[in-house]
Structure formats: structure tokens, C-alpha cells
Amino acid sequence: MLTHAIEDEFLARGEYQVVIEQFGERRPFSNIIKAEERHIALLLPLFESYDVDVPEDQGVMRAAVPDSFARWPLRLASTQK
């Protein structure tokens, strides 16, 4: 469960990082990255407590980013199902 949780946070952060790289720094994505980093920071001590290896961060490599900034609301809606 911990592994799934942190991989989800890595993926979310990676997607927002790619958005910023492709379309420039825009809100709310720059703020959401900070939130994802806080979530990751809160999970890391649990990995140590339970002696579980932290998986490699593949968020940027696995990010699915639309080809235009205008399509982001559709992408976000599809991930909330």
C-alpha cells in the first residue's frame, strides 16, 4: 500500500512537472507540485518505519500529458473517476 501511495504521488508530481516544462509555469500546477512534494515527504518516514524500500521515482517518465494546455481539464477529469 505504501508503495502504491508514493508511486501515485510521484506520478502526479511528474505530470505537473511536464506540464510546466511544456507550457510554462502556470497556476495551479506550480502550487500542486508543492502539495505533491509535501505528500511524498509525509510518506517517506513510513517507509523507514516499516523497513520498506522506496521505489524509484518514475513520475516524469510515466506522465501522460495532453498536447495542449486547453486539454488539461479533460485530463484531470479522467483521472478523478
Distance of CA 36 to the CA centre of its chain: 6
Average pLDDT (22-40) is 87
Q: What is the mean pLDDT of the chain?
A: 84
> What is the signed CA dihedral for 68, 74, 60, 52, rounded to 10 degrees?
170
What's the pLDDT at 30?
Answer: 81
pLDDT tens by residue, 41-63: 999 999 999 999 999 999 888 88
- Residue 81: is its pLDDT beyond 50? no
Mean pLDDT of 14-33: 85
- Looking at residue 24, its pLDDT comes to 84
